[in-house]
Structure 1
Amino acid sequence: MKLSTPRWWYERHGRHGRVVRTLLKPLAWIWSAATARRIARATPVDVGVPVLSIGNLTVGGSGKTPVAREVLRLLRAQGIAAHGLSRGYGGRSDGPLRVDPTLHTADEVGDEPLMLAGDAAVWIARDRVAGARAAVADGAAALVLDDAHQNPSLLKTLSLLVVDGETRGAEWPFGDGSVFPSGPMREPLAAGLARADAVVVLLPADAPEADAELLALFAPLPTFIARLEPAGPPPHGPQVGFAGIAKPWKVERALEAAGCDLVDFAPFPDHAAYRPGDLAFLADRAALFDAGLVTTEKDWARLPPDWRTRIVAWPVVARFEDEPGFAARLAQAVR
């Protein structure tokens, strides 16, 4: 059973969830200690090519996958044969396996690798070292790891941390700094920043400048601002939106900001598998409002094939404000 992301995780000062957060602190200490011990004891393997890690410090919802897609695009533009590598969360296959979007399904390889494989060579492997070696044997001149900041198995050339810059005000991307399950953090902030080479703050296309208080946390690390922009307009006419990602409320906001006539929105847990009952519910809501159905690319990848013709995928892409500067940082890492 998949659970929805608690909104109280992202509250710094709110009273809601404070008692639960306190009760969960002992489990958070255990989680933090286990993560630190696993990283400290690891001996990272050098597979002979540059390895660029795209990770974050929180449990989902930061925008790692759009950033990984953009990194792959920028490396290809530089003539680098970069391959993506993911553990294939949500898929059955252990790998190593090169993802083929014409053959594989999200049930087999996971929704994020399937989405990335539409643009680039992407591999899945529970064993990251085995997956990296398979990719290199297939011609990869560089590897882009999706969600690997807490995975120490490979020697990394560049470690990028992606931070959700949209969550602000009473909500904060790191909550009160509590580690899972007491809060959204995978590890304490200082520990995660100590292994990072740069930070990417991801903002919505229409957001104001990045929060100065947030940016100050990352000094003296280089910090790049990226915008999550629609790849095209939302569908015309009334729409019922839905999303099964870590922060589905961000999809609702983005659709409205893009001018979508959003008459209803249904949130689902992260990586939700859409069952017949879920799809019937969505169809009923659309019929009630005489509306279409729209969702994210990641959710669309998890839909049964016969439903994909009935539901519109609304793609978004990460674009860097200082693209030349960021591309130069990538070039330096793969020299």
Structure 2
Amino acid sequence: MMTPPKFWQEPDGARHPAARLLWPVAALYGFIGARKISAATPYRAAGPVICVGNVSMGGVGKTPFSLMLAETLQDLNRQPAFLTRGFGGSLRQPTMLGTQHTAAQSGDEAQLLRQQGPVVVAADRPAGARLIFAQTSADSLIMDDGFQNPSLHKDLSFLLIDAETGFGNGQVFPAGPLREKPAAALRRAQAVVFVLPDQSASVPDALVRRAAGKPVLRAWLEAAPVHPPGRRVVAFCGIGRPEKFYRTARSAGYDLAATRDFPDHHAFTQADLTALRALAGQHQATLLTTQKDHVRLPTDLQAEVETLPVRMQVDKQATLTSLLEDLF
């Protein structure tokens, strides 16, 4: 995975020489994407489709939010299933995920989703939806990502926005971090979710105004406190913004003796774990990683690495429940 250039997130990054140079490519990228969306005739699935998406490149918490949606639906006596592209996996045909499938085949997000309900991995979203409603008892479908994919009709779309980085320099890839212009994305969303670094953080007023009267939720990842507090760990991860994981680990009470970053969706090797073991030994610490990273570790080494379980929380559970109830 590429490391995003700094000018993508700088307030005046649109005026950066590289952004100006890349603007024609960005304009073409945006035009092709918008044209694809406007020209599509989406397939309508046999049940409600709930999309969890974002407008920027990289992760913002779509998988934890999807898991929380499934839990909420299950509390309403519904039976959701998940549809995901399986980013980073090798599966090429629509596949119902089973215990025999590894993260290398399905991608790491799919392995996490499987803990909460049936999962189909399919780049062809209509084919994946047909498989779900034909082979499971699901009465609804949660699509992790796919907001810019117009092939499947979406009954309810949540647009997740990182409250810290917002829309970056406001430019479409590769001149900026956006998959499309924010105004276009906001028009298609039924609800906006601002993802906070923690519960106490606020959302800039300028971002809230962009929601234009749509239902707004504030969400954050919460980790259970570690017992006893102050447990010494070497924390490592291969995610888009590793500092978010380290901050959450510290807030849960871990003492981070050292940290190590890997590329997003990194496929961990025996050599990686050997080096991490040595580092942990130097600090007399335990290894700690994210749930997403843990499923990508070599199976025989997973037992020696702790995970930091997290759950997505929202500030307006009643609003969220009402949006979901209206689908049925």
Which TM class, normalised by the smaller chain length? over 0.9
| Aligned partner of 2:32 among 30, 34, 38 | 34
Normalized against structure 1, the TM-score is what?
Answer: 0.92
Distance 1:7 1:260, change over 3 A: farther
In the other structure, the counterpart of 1:323 is 317
CA shift for structure 1 position 50: 0.7
Note the residue ranges of structure 1 that are not aligned, 5 or more in a row: none
Kept in 2, the 8 Å contact 1:206–1:257? The answer is: no
| Aligned partner of 1:199 among 187, 192, 195 | 192
Q: Deviations over 1:61-118 (max 9, x none)?
A: 2111111111111111111111110011111112322223x32210011100111101
Distance 1:236 1:307, change over 3 A: farther
In the other structure, the counterpart of 2:238 is 244
Normalized against structure 2, the TM-score is what?
Answer: 0.94
1:165-204 equivalences under 5 Å are 165=163, 167=164, 172-204=165-197
1:314 counterpart letter in structure 2: L
| Aligned partner of 1:308 among 298, 302, 305 | 302
1:194 counterpart letter in structure 2: R
1:134 counterpart letter in structure 2: L
Q: Deviations over 1:273-323 (max 9, x none)?
A: 112332233222212222111111001111111121111111211111111
* Aligned mates of 1:242, 1:49 — CA distance in 2: 40
1:280 counterpart letter in structure 2: T
In the other structure, the counterpart of 2:8 is 9
1:65 aligned onto 2:59: no
Distance 1:256 1:20, change over 3 A: farther
Determine helix, strand or coil for the equivalent of 1:317: strand
Overall identity of the aligned pairs, in %: 38
CA shift for structure 1 position 325: 1.7
* Aligned mates of 1:241, 1:26 — CA distance in 2: 41
| Aligned partner of 2:109 among 100, 108, 112 | 112
Determine helix, strand or coil for the equivalent of 1:309: helix
In the other structure, the counterpart of 1:292 is 286
Note the residue ranges of structure 2 that are not aligned, 5 or more in a row: none
CA shift for structure 1 position 148: 1.3
Determine helix, strand or coil for the equivalent of 2:326: helix
* Aligned mates of 2:207, 2:250 — CA distance in 1: 25
Distance 1:291 1:5, change over 3 A: farther
Greater shift, 302-311 or 202-211, is seen at 202-211
CA shift for structure 1 position 236: 5.4
Distance 1:25 1:70, change over 3 A: same
Kept in 2, the 8 Å contact 1:232–1:314? The answer is: no
Kept in 1, the 8 Å contact 2:84–2:121? The answer is: yes
CA RMSD of superposed structures (Å) = 1.9
| Aligned partner of 2:16 among 18, 28, 33 | 18
Determine helix, strand or coil for the equivalent of 1:229: strand
CA shift for structure 1 position 24: 2.3
Kept in 1, the 8 Å contact 2:59–2:240? The answer is: yes
1:45 counterpart letter in structure 2: Y
Q: Deviations over 1:129-184 (max 9, x none)?
A: 1110010012221111000110111111111101112x1xxxx3211101112211
* Aligned mates of 1:21, 1:238 — CA distance in 2: 43
1:212-227 equivalences under 5 Å are 212-227=205-220
Kept in 2, the 8 Å contact 1:204–1:229? The answer is: no
Kept in 1, the 8 Å contact 2:83–2:129? The answer is: yes
* Aligned mates of 2:145, 2:204 — CA distance in 1: 24
Kept in 2, the 8 Å contact 1:95–1:131? The answer is: no
In the other structure, the counterpart of 1:103 is 100
Determine helix, strand or coil for the equivalent of 1:90: coil
Instruction: Report the number of matched residues.
Output: 326
